[in-house]
Amino acid sequence: NAGVMQNPRHLVRRRGQEARLRCSPMKGHSHVYWYRQLPEEGLKFMVYLQKENIIDESGMPKERFSAEFPKEGPSILRIQQVVRGDSAAYFCASSQGQPRNTEAFFGQGTRLTVV
Amino acid sequence: GNSVTQMEGPVTLSEEAFLTINCTYTATGYPSLFWYVQYPGEGLQLLLKATKADDKGSNKGFEATYRKETTSFHLEKGSVQVSDSAVYFCAPGNEKLTFGTGTRLTIIP
C-alpha cells in the first residue's frame, strides 16, 4: 500500500504563473488535508476535503487559492498568479476516517519556489 | 475546537539525556491524542497515539500517557539519540486536523 504521494516534489514558477500541486491519498482514504509550511515554522492548516466536498477551508486565502478532491484522481491545490510570498513547502495528508480519532499520513511535500 | 499548548523550543540536549516535551490540551469530549514527528526535509509521521484516558502510547522508546485530570499528554524518552533530532507536534484529534507550532529538538553528540 503506497503512502501519500505528492508531486512534483519541487516546483519553480515565475511570478504571475499558475502552480498546480497534486496529492494522491493512501488507498481507501477519503479525507484529505493541505498545509503550508515556511522554513523553521509550524504547519498552517489550509483546507480539509472529503471526496468532492470541501469540509473546511478556513485556512485558505480568499483569492488565488483553490482546492479540489474529485471523485476520480488526486486532490489538487491550485495557486493562480503566484507571488514571491507563496514560496513555501506544501504538505498533503490523508486519513481513513474523521480526524478526531484517526491518524493521518503525510506526503513528502511539494517545495514551491516563486522567482 | 480542540487546541494544544506545547512546550516552546528549541530544545537542545546531549545524547543519552532524558527528554520531556510538555503538552496540555483543551478538548470537547475525549478525542484521541497524537504525537507526530517531522524529520528534516520530510512530512509529518505519527510517532504515537492514545485513544482514551490513562492509555499510554509508545514507540521507538518514546512514551506519552493520556491524562484526563491534568489534560496533558507529555512526551518522554529515557535516553535520546542524535537521530531523534526533529520537530515534534502534539495534537488532540479535532474537527479538521490542526497542529501547533511544534517543538524543535536538537540532540548533540
A2 pLDDT above the threshold of 80 = no
Q: What's the whole-number mean pLDDT along residues A7-30?
A: 97
B49 touching A, CB under 8 A? yes
In SS3 terms, A12-73 reads as EECCCCCEEEEEECCCCCCEEEEEEECCCCCEEEEEEEECCEEEECCCCCCCCEEEECCCCC
Model confidence at B51, in pLDDT bands (50, 70, 90)? very high
Higher pLDDT, B26 or A9: A9
The DSSP bridge partners found for residue B64 are B57, B75
**Average pLDDT over chain B, rounded to an integer:** 92
Q: What's the whole-number mean pLDDT along residues A16-38?
A: 96
Which chain B residue's Cα is nearest to A35?
B98
Q: What's the whole-number mean pLDDT along residues A42-57?
A: 93
Min Cα separation B73/chain A (Å): 15
Q: What's the whole-number mean pLDDT along residues A73-101?
A: 95
In A, which residues are within 8 Å of B95 by CB distance?
Answer: 56, 99-100
Q: What is the pLDDT of residue B98?
A: 85
